[in-house]
Structure 1
Amino acid sequence: MRAVVHQGLHQKLSVETIADPTPGVGEVVLSVGRCGICGSDLHMTEDPAFGVDKGAVLGHEFAGEVVALGKGIERLKKGDLVSVVPIASCGKCPSCLAGEPAWCEKMNLQGGGYGEFAVTNENQCVMLPKSASMADGAIIEPLAVALHGVMMAEQKPGDKVLILGAGPIGLGVAYWARKFGASKVVVQDINNYQETRARQMGATDFIVDMSDPVGAAERALGGKADIVYECVGVPGLIPQAVEQVRIKGTVVILGLCTRPETFVPFVALSKEVRLQTSAFFKRQEYEAALDALDSGAAEPRALVTDTISLDAVPDVFESLKKRTHQCKVLIAPRG
């Protein structure tokens, strides 16, 4: 099969012909229909902390058609259309049974979506309803990540929300925050590339003011935020968020940052700010994201800005390392 292959840190991806995957016990092979390029994929090719080996096929936001079955498959059959929960786990421990495979001792992150075929476990597959497309199946994961952040914030109707970063996760947070009754949803970014899309997703205002980011947010919200969602992962934004949130407010950290962060704890302590990290999602949240798409909601689909072929991936991937007008780019491995 053809796949886009990781060539090592700081190296450009390349399209190669590699062996077709074969399913083991409890596994299925999918013909990949769509796969999203995620910001974490970009990090994986640049940061040794992720430990991605040369020769790996990236891609965890994908959906496809079941084309081969391993032994012991009970629920799926050939021809089924599924979205893949990209967290492999045992499926039997208390964490798995509670819908939290990320905390399973055998947890492993799924890849392989940047290829024509990918192998995955049956218990990671979520059936797509007839109303959902392959593109829908590929954006469930970022929507679930955003939903988990909103749930971790314990957001209440009427809350004033500030979102730092207008990437797919930030825009997903805007969608869920508004859906759960936030009175104001302000998205703050360093440029206005995604302003129209943010408003489509639920933002009530969009601000770009690097000279006075704290004051600009306060003016847009009419005061301090009840909740600030940090969705960028750049050093300096956590202390900024602490300044922007109200006394006894909540800062939710969703941004993926592997660099040191420095801030004065007293600033947060003096306001009794709650700092809440958010990683991954629950299985129930993944299914809720699919339900939102199944309901016909148009807003989440606004995340997708382009669909490209495997051959285009290396160049587009490099371009996404810099800020562009793109939001969520999907790969169509088989055309």
Structure 2
Amino acid sequence: MRAVVHQGLHKKLALETIAEPSPKEGEVLLSVGRCGICGSDLHMTEDEAFGVDAGAVLGHEFAGEVVGLGKGVERFKLGDFVSVVPIASCGKCPSCLAGEPAWCEKMHLQGGGYSELAVTNENQCVPLPKTASMADGAIIEPLAVALHGVMMGEQKPGNKVLILGAGPIGLGVAFWARRFGASKVVVQDINNFQENRAREMGATDFIVDLEDPVGAAERALGGKADIVYECVGVPGLIPQAVDQTRVKGTVLVLGLCTRPETFVPFVALSKEVRIQTSAFFKRQEYEAALDALDAGAAEPRALISDTINLDAVPDVFESLKKRTHQCKVLIAPKG
């Protein structure tokens, strides 16, 4: 089969022909319909902290059609359309049974979506309703990550919300923040590439001000934010978020940053600001994101800016390492 393969740190991905996978006991074989290119995929090819070896096939935001069944698979049949929860786990421990596979001792991130075929565990598959497309199945994961962040932020109706970063996660947060009753949802970025998309997703305002980001946000919100969602992962944004948060407010960190961060704790302490991190999602949140799409929520589909075939992936992947007008790029392996 054809697949886009990681060549090693700081090297360009390459399209190769590799052996087709076979489903083992408890696994299903999927013909990949759509797979999203995630910001964490970009990190994996540039940062040794992720421990991704050369030869790996990336891609954890994917959906597909069941075309093979391993021994003992009972919940699915050939021809079923599914979205993949990309967190492999034992399925039996207290964390797994509570719908939190990310905290299972055997947890690892499922890859393989940058290919024509992929195998995954039966218990990681969520059936797609007839109303949901393969593209819908591929954007559930970032929507679930955003939903988890909003839940961890303990947002209340009427809150004034500031979102730093207009990438897919930041825009997903805008969608959920509005659904949960935020009175103002301001998205702040260093350029206006995604302004129209942000407003479509639920933002009440979009600001770009490199000279005075703190003051610009305060003017747009009419004061300090109740919650600031940091969705970029660049050093310097946590202390900025603390400045932008009200007394006893919350800074919710979703941005994936692997570099050192420096700030003066007293600034946060003096306002009793709560700094909360958020990673992954619960199984229930993944299913809730699918339910929102199934119920007719059109806004999340605005995340998708491009759909490309496997041949285009290496070049597009490189382009995404720099800020572009693209948002969520989906791969159609057989398109």
TM-score category, normalised to shorter length: over 0.9
Structure-2 residue corresponding to 1:183: 183
Deviations 1:132-168 (A, max 9, x none): 0000000000000000000000000000000000000
Structure-2 residue corresponding to 1:264: 264
Structure-2 residue corresponding to 1:243: 243
SS of the residue 2:234 aligns to: coil
SS of the residue 1:312 aligns to: helix
SS of the residue 1:147 aligns to: helix
Percent of pairs with identical residues: 88
2:17 matches 1:17 = yes
Structure-2 residue corresponding to 1:222: 222
Structure-1 residue corresponding to 2:305: 305
SS of the residue 2:284 aligns to: helix
Give, in whole Å, the separation in 2 of the partners of 1:295 and 1:331: 25
Give, in whole Å, the separation in 2 of the partners of 1:182 and 1:233: 23
Structure-1 residue corresponding to 2:314: 314
2:45 matches 1:45 = yes
Give, in whole Å, the separation in 2 of the partners of 1:83 and 1:12: 28
Give, in whole Å, the separation in 1 of the partners of 2:298 and 2:286: 18
SS of the residue 2:112 aligns to: coil
Q: 1:230: Cα distance to partner? A: 0.1
SS of the residue 1:66 aligns to: strand
Give, in whole Å, the separation in 1 of the partners of 2:80 and 2:148: 27
Give, in whole Å, the separation in 1 of the partners of 2:108 and 2:52: 12
Deviations 1:19-60 (A, max 9, x none): 000011100110000000000000000000000000000000
2:278 matches 1:278 = yes
Q: 1:200: Cα distance to partner? A: 0.1
SS of the residue 2:3 aligns to: strand
Deviations 1:195-214 (A, max 9, x none): 00000000000000010000
User: 1:54-133 alignment to 2 at 5 Å?
Assistant: 54-133=54-133
Q: 1:244: Cα distance to partner? A: 0.1
Structure-1 residue corresponding to 2:31: 31
Give, in whole Å, the separation in 2 of the partners of 1:108 and 1:195: 35
SS of the residue 2:130 aligns to: coil
For structure 1, which runs of at least 5 residues remain unmatched after alignment?
Answer: none
Q: 1:10: Cα distance to partner? A: 0.5
Structure-2 residue corresponding to 1:326: 326
Give, in whole Å, the separation in 1 of the partners of 2:153 and 2:114: 33
Q: 1:296: Cα distance to partner? A: 1.1
Give, in whole Å, the separation in 2 of the partners of 1:81 and 1:193: 33
Moved over 2 A (4+): none
TM-score using structure 2 length: 1.00
Q: Which amino acid aligns with 2:134?
A: M
Give, in whole Å, the separation in 2 of the partners of 1:206 and 1:83: 32
SS of the residue 1:271 aligns to: coil
For structure 2, which runs of at least 5 residues remain unmatched after alignment?
Answer: none
What is the RMSD computed on CA atoms of the aligned residues? 0.3
Give, in whole Å, the separation in 2 of the partners of 1:210 and 1:130: 45
2:6 matches 1:6 = yes
Give, in whole Å, the separation in 1 of the partners of 2:262 and 2:287: 37
SS of the residue 1:75 aligns to: coil
Give, in whole Å, the separation in 2 of the partners of 1:117 and 1:202: 35
Q: 1:74: Cα distance to partner? A: 1.2
Q: 1:222: Cα distance to partner? A: 0.0
Give, in whole Å, the separation in 2 of the partners of 1:68 and 1:298: 32
SS of the residue 1:307 aligns to: strand
